[in-house]
Amino acid sequence: DTAVSQTPKYLVTQMGNDKSIKCEQNLGHDTMYWYKQDSKKFLKIMFSYNNKELIINETVPNRFSPKSPDKAHLNLHINSLELGDSAVYFCASSQDGSFNSPLHFGNGTRLTVT
Amino acid sequence: AQSVAQPEDQVNVAEGNPLTVKCTYSVSGNPYLFWYVQYPNRGLQFLLKYITGDNLVKGSYGFEAEFNKSQTSFHLKKPSALVSDSALYFCAVRDPSGGSYIPTFGRGTSLIVHP
């Protein structure tokens, strides 16, 4: 009964390929996020989806795109993968877009681009 | 703009001793502050938060944090460290006056508790 689940846990692929990472939360939360954690453990927000409003970090390449089929899912699609995309990607959710609700994180997807 | 700083990349402490992990913040208005812990190969887990009220906030696993408005700090503390507390700790801030609900995270502090 994992609260926020991501699949796959590990993803190894070659440059130029297109891949997707799936995220599902069973907490009934309204807001979901995607974060990228680099090799130095720095967390960078990529996207947030709240009540059908998508907030995009303008520094994220447009090769990355989120897809939300419903409130419980926020999948991440990556086109034309590059070496620099190698990182751990975390999905998270919070109860709503309020300022006092903490984030609940999945266990991450380690993406390795060769 | 909201920002948060964790000045120490690593903190070393002996088991049984008190520990402190430092965090300072910068916001336009009143901050909403959070601490998270990350164990190896896992996602971040929420420990505690400060919204308003008492400056000393108690959280999970015996951790607490002290909000100090004049020093713009929100240090994480525990009276007696355990080896199992060894992990990566992140401070995060939200600034309601800034309009965005998306939190900004610090760069993380690695806590190592020696037996």
Structure tokens at A60: 């994220």
What pLDDT is attached to residue B36? 98
Per the CB < 8 A criterion, the answer to whether B39 and A107 are in contact is no
**Pairing mode of beta strands A10-13, A109-113:** parallel
- Tallying the residues shown for chain A, one arrives at 114
Taking contacts as CB-CB distances below 8 angstroms, the residues of chain B near A102 are: 34, 36, 46, 49
pLDDT tens column, A59-96: 899 999 999 988 899 999 999 999 999 999 999 999 98
Q: Between A71 and A5, name the one with better pLDDT.
A: A5
What pLDDT is attached to residue B59? 95
Q: What values do phi and psi take at B110, rounded to 5? A: -85, 120
Q: Is B5 exposed, middle or buried (0-12, 13-18, 19+ CB in 10 A)?
A: middle
Q: Flag whether pLDDT at B21 surpasses 80.
A: yes
Q: Which of A4, A42, A55 sits opposite B102 (nearest CB)?
A: A55
Per the CB < 8 A criterion, the answer to whether B33 and B25 are in contact is yes
Nearest to B6 by CA among B30, B32, B25: B25
Mutant choice from A43, A47, A49, A53 vs B, greatest count of B C-beta within 10 A: A43
Q: How far apart are CA B46 and CA A36, in angstroms?
A: 18
pLDDT tens column, B84-101: 999 999 999 999 887 788
Q: Where are the beta strands (DSSP E) in chain A?
A: 4-7, 10-13, 19-25, 31-37, 43-50, 53-56, 64-67, 75-78, 87-94, 104-105, 109-113
Put simply, the answer to whether A43 touches B90 (Cβ < 8 Å) is yes
Per the CB < 8 A criterion, the answer to whether B70 and B1 are in contact is no
Is the backbone of residue B51 left (phi > 0), alpha (psi -120 to 50) or beta?
alpha
Q: Which of A31, A42, A108 sits opposite B107 (nearest CB)?
A: A42
What pLDDT is attached to residue A54? 86
Nearest to B38 by CA among B115, B105, B114: B105
Nearest CA in chain A to B88: A41
pLDDT tens column, A12-63: 999 999 999 999 999 999 999 999 999 999 999 999 998 778 888 888 999 9
pLDDT tens column, B29-86: 899 999 999 999 999 999 999 998 899 999 999 999 999 999 999 999 999 999 999 9
| Mean pLDDT on A5-13 | 97
Q: How far does Cα B24 stand from its chain's mean position?
A: 9
DSSP A103: P
What pLDDT is attached to residue A1? 61
What pLDDT is attached to residue A105? 97
